[in-house]
Amino acid sequence: MSDKVNKFVWYDLMTSDIKAAATFYGKVAGWGSMDSGMVERPYHLFTMGATMIAGLMPIPPDAAGASPAWMGYLGVDNVDAYAAKVTGAGGKVLRAPEDIPNGVGRFAIVADPHGATFALFAANAGDPPAEAGNAPGRIGWHELHAGDLDTAWEFYSGLFGWGKTETIDMGPMGSYQIFSTGGNPVGGVMTKMPQSPAPFWLYYFNVDAIDAAIERIKDAGGQVTNGPHQVPGGLWIVQALDPQGALFALVAPQR
């Protein structure tokens, strides 16, 4: 196992319509949006007050044909070294390590051995942000719908030092392995459902109440695909598609 624990430190949405996506998530999650100021490539920021929540970018020309999707970034100290570790552990490098304009840092896009994608990121300055917990508008949960729970867990825990917390028996759906990245639990791993075409990461945004958020999703042109459901701990969740087709989820302390 890794002697260092690597956390999710950033997220962004690659979409076919930046303006429409900014409007949608503003209505659903309460986020503001602003241009990042990058000259070399279009990149906007989702904000919650003065806090930067995530990035927003158009599907780049070299990814033409890609579907709109959310991406999570794992903070590492050396992107090139970790990209090599991903390959060595059976994963793939989908976009080779490169520098981000304006001296922000370095990143790479990779996939685990079953094809679920995520990013590696090393900042040039500053510490990773603190985990969000239950703060409204923040990303409060990270969920891997894996090709296979056991082998996926071996990959992520071995590379990134994640620790097991509780394992929940979901009956015919298998086990749900909750994990931590050095503090409180931040996510879960499960074998994907047979109807899911491929493994994927799903990110849950914190809202105050799930039913009101569902109405905001529908009113803003999104589509609820699963839920609402109550999960262990008394929380309520819903999974949905935004109007451009990107999958996301919401979590709330009350119905």
1 falls within a domain: no
131: confidence class by pLDDT, cuts 50, 70, 90: low
- Asked if 169 and 204 sit in the same domain, the reply is yes
Residue ranges of E strands in the chain = 8-15, 32-35, 44-48, 51-58, 69-75, 92-100, 105-111, 117-123, 139-146, 163-169, 175-180, 185-191, 200-206, 223-231, 235-241, 247-252
**Of 141, 173, 133, nearest to 249 (Cα)?**
141
pLDDT in tens, 47-73: 998 889 999 999 987 776 789 999 999
130 falls within a domain: no
What pLDDT sits at residue 128? 53
**Of 171, 169, 172, 185, nearest to 7 (Cα)?**
185
pLDDT in tens, 137-188: 999 999 999 999 999 999 999 999 999 998 999 888 889 999 999 888 999 9
pLDDT in tens, 11-49: 999 999 999 999 999 999 999 999 888 777 789 999 998
Domain of 22: which CATH number?
3.10.180.10
Identify whether the C-beta of residue 56 lies closer than 8 Å to the C-beta of residue 33: yes
203: confidence class by pLDDT, cuts 50, 70, 90: very high
Domain boundary pick from 57, 91, 123: 123
Domain boundary pick from 79, 98, 123: 123
- Asked if 110 and 162 sit in the same domain, the reply is no
3 falls within a domain: no
- Asked if 117 and 152 sit in the same domain, the reply is no
Could you list the residue range(s) of the whole structural domain that residue 64 is in? 8-123
pTM: 0.94
241 falls within a domain: yes
- Asked if 113 and 145 sit in the same domain, the reply is no
